[in-house]
Amino acid sequence: MTKYLKSVFITAIMLFAMNFASAQSETEWKEMVDFHKVMSQTFHPLEEGNYQPIRDRIGEMVEKAILWKNSPIPEEYTSVKGIKKNLKLLVKNSAALDGKIKSGCSDEVIAKDLTRLHDVFHNIIGLCTHDH
């Protein structure tokens, strides 16, 4: 990764962390936190070229996505459009990646699909701020 891309990436992660911390301080959504834990513990190693965590934990990611989708949306977010749709997409894409990993897909497919899942996760986090 070039120095420029690395600094852009680090900046984006820092902004995300601040935004996520802000969202968490406003309302604790346990299932969001639980999903985030699995996402961060699989996505960040992948960025370093380590695909084993996502290969080992994709089933757990699917489980956490389903639990999050089925959990009650905190009252302050119930009127926000797009949360349910994105949670459904998170479950659908997690399950699809699970099937691909179980069928022996390439690292490139895993990277592309997990990055897409990460983007959906960030969309939901963005919806769960008071800036909407």
What's the pLDDT tens digit per position in 104-113? 999 999 999 9
Instruction: Say what angle helices 107-127 and 3-26 make with each other, to 10 degrees.
Output: 40
**Is the Cα dihedral 22, 116, 132, 82 positive or negative?**
negative
What digits encode the pLDDT tens for the residues 44-77?
999 999 999 999 999 999 999 999 999 999 999 9
> pLDDT-derived band of residue 22, with 50, 70 and 90 as boundaries?
very low
| Percent above pLDDT 70 for the chain | 77
Q: Helix 3-26 and helix 30-47: axis angle, to 10°?
A: 170
In a domain, residue 43? The reply is yes
Classified as helix, coil or strand, 73 is coil
> Across the chain, what does the average pLDDT equal?
86
Who has greater pLDDT, 51 or 26? Answer: 51
The CA–CA distances, whole Å, from 128 to 17, 85, 86 equal 14, 13, 12
Tell me how many domains the chain contains.
1
Q: Is residue 78 part of a domain?
A: yes
- Note whether residue 132 is domain-resident: no
**Segment 32-41, tens digit of pLDDT:** 999 999 999 9
Domain that holds residue 105: 3-127
pLDDT for 132 equals: 46
Confirm whether 66 is domain-assigned: yes
